[in-house]
């Protein structure tokens, strides 16, 4: 599977419509299940950096076409064997309450228990040395009620945070871990993984395309370098709560074949619950590694003039 930019076309029929006063836009006028043109991807890339979350309806992906589109953003993360991908390593993580035969899993199934973590505010892969650029979730089976995905803009929150407090936060470095201290016995992670997946990231990040600052915290942030533990936990909780106020949150109600793309550098997200004893839900996720090309177009020739 190769990257799928088509340099021959500079025309784009894409429209971008904001869905929230502060972030999130719906993209229409493009079929992402086939190779996208260079001009279309440029429009998507620019909207992604501006709006942080993009919603694209009616994208009937198979795994290979979702992977192909995702690769436009850069190299993909490869998930290790894990409940989130049904223990099948690869580029697709399956978020579902179904077993391999499509039957509802019991609520006490270990995989179901593990996925409850997704209902905490977090940003994907912040426990990796190179945190994710973006994730995209494809709605393959959606429940009729509930199961929204919530997104919170760390960029809008930072802009609204009291300016007087910002200098003291500017250079703080947070420690992110895949497992919380109370999860030390979780069999999903072995000792080697836990040790390796303890990393640091700035509490405040800057989008390299537009220079906008944002808070970067969430459930994996558990300490701050040089700060007493309790003070750090209190500050991280305050930042996360500030970011996830309703005014900074968009809740996405899923329709079949929705694709939602979000910027893991600046957005927190969480799954919301639904009646898992009655309804089926199956989402396929790809995640683009953080080394993706923030200056993606800088090294490419300009599109042909129309
Ligand atoms: Fe997630």
Query: 116-140 pLDDT, tens per residue?
Result: 888 999 999 888 888 899 999 999 9
Strand duo 249-252 + 149-153: pairing: antiparallel
Reported residue count of the chain is 306
pLDDT at 212 over 80: yes
The DSSP bridge partners found for residue 200 are 175
For residue 217, the CA-to-ligand 1 centroid distance in Å is 13
Q: What is the Å distance from ligand 1's center to 119 Cα?
A: 9
The least confident of 76-85, 101-110, 190-199 is 190-199
Rounded distance from Cα 273 to ligand 1 centre (Å):
14
Q: Which domains does the chain have, with CATH numbers?
A: 15-164+245-288 (3.60.130.10)
224 CA from centroid of ligand 1 (Å): 22
The model scores a pTM over 0.75: yes
Per-residue pLDDT band for 178 (boundaries 50, 70, 90) equals confident
> Which position has the higher pLDDT, 188 or 29?
29
Ligand 1 centre to CA of 143 (Å) is 18
* CB-based contacts of 88, cutoff 8 Å, min separation 6: 81
> How much distance in Å is there from the Cα of 267 to the middle of ligand 1?
11
Q: How many CB atoms lie within 10 A of CB 149?
A: 22
- Ligand 1 mean position, distance from CA 123 (Å): 6
Taking the centre of ligand 1 as the mean of its atom positions, its distance from the CA of residue 33, in whole angstroms, is: 23
Residue 56 in tokens: 């694209």
Residue 122 Cα to ligand 1 midpoint, Å, equals 6
Task: State the chain's mean pLDDT as an integer.
Answer: 87
Determine the distance separating the centroid of ligand 1 and the alpha carbon of 8, expressed in angstroms.
35
- Rounded distance between C-alpha atoms, residue 18 and residue 54, angstroms: 9
Taking the centre of ligand 1 as the mean of its atom positions, its distance from the CA of residue 137, in whole angstroms, is 9
The pLDDT tens digits of the residues spanning 1-42 come to: 344 444 444 567 999 999 999 999 999 999 999 999 999 999
What's the gap in Å between 301 CA and the centre of ligand 1? 35
- 41-45, 80-84, 233-237, 296-300: least confident range: 296-300
Closest residue by Cα to residue 96 from 262, 257, 284: 284
Answer yes or no: is pLDDT of 159 > 90. yes
Distance 118 CA to ligand 1 centre (A): 6
Taking the C-alpha atoms of residue 51 and residue 49, their distance in angstroms, rounded to an integer, is 6
> 193 C-alpha to center of ligand 1: Å?
18
**Distance from the CA of 124 to the center of ligand 1, in angstroms?**
5
For 221, the 3-state DSSP assignment is strand
State how far the Cα of 166 lies from the Cα of 176, in Å rounded to an integer: 21
Q: What does the alpha-carbon distance between residue 66 and residue 257 come to, in Å, rounded to a whole number?
A: 11
Is residue 111 within a helix (H) or strand (E), and if so which, with residue range? Answer: helix 110-115
Please say if the pLDDT value at position 257 is more than 80. Answer: yes
CA of 306 from ligand 1 middle (Å) equals: 40
pLDDT value at residue 9: 42
CA of 299 from ligand 1 middle (Å) equals 31
Report the 10 Å Cβ neighbour count for 210: 10
Task: Collect contacts of 58-61 with beta carbons under 8 A, ≥24 apart.
Answer: 58/257, 59/31, 59/32, 59/33, 59/138, 59/257, 59/258, 59/259, 60/33, 60/257, 61/32, 61/33, 61/138, 61/140, 61/257, 61/259, 61/284
């Amino acid at each position: 599977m190769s990257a799928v930019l088509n340099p021959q076309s500079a025309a784009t029929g894409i429209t971008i419509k904001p869905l929230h006063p502060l972030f999130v836009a719906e993209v229409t006028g493009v079929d992402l299940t086939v190779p996208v043109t260079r001009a279309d991807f440029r429009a998507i890339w620019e909207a992604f950096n501006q709006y942080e979350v993009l919603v694209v309806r009616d994208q009937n992906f198979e795994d290979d076409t979702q992977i192909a589109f995702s690769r436009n953003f850069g190299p993909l993360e490869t998930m290790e064997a894990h409940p989130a991908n049904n223990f099948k390593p690869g580029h697709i993580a399956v978020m579902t309450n179904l077993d391999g035969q499509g039957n509802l899993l019991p609520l006490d199934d270990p995989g179901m228990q593990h996925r409850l973590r997704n209902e905490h505010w977090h940003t994907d892969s912040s426990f990796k040395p190179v945190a994710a650029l973006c994730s995209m979730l494809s709605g393959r089976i959606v429940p009729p009620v509930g199961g929204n995905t919530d997104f919170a803009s760390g960029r809008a929150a930072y802009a609204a945070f009291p300016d007087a407090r910002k200098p003291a936060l500017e250079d703080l470095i947070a420690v992110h871990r895949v497992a919380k201290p109370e999860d030390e016995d979780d069999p999903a992670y072995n000792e080697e993984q836990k040790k390796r997946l303890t990393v640091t990231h700035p509490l405040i990040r800057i989008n390299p395309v537009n220079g906008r600052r944002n808070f970067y915290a969430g459930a994996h942030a558990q300490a701050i370098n040089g700060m007493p533990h309790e003070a750090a936990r209190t500050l991280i909780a305050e930042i996360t709560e500030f970011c996830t106020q309703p005014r900074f949150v968009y809740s996405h109600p899923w329709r079949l074949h929705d694709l939602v793309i979000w910027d893991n550098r600046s957005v927190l997200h969480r799954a919301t619950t639904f009646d898992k004893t009655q309804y089926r839900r199956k989402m396929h996720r790809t995640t683009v590694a953080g080394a993706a090309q923030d200056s993606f177009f800088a090294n490419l020739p300009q599109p042909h003039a129309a």
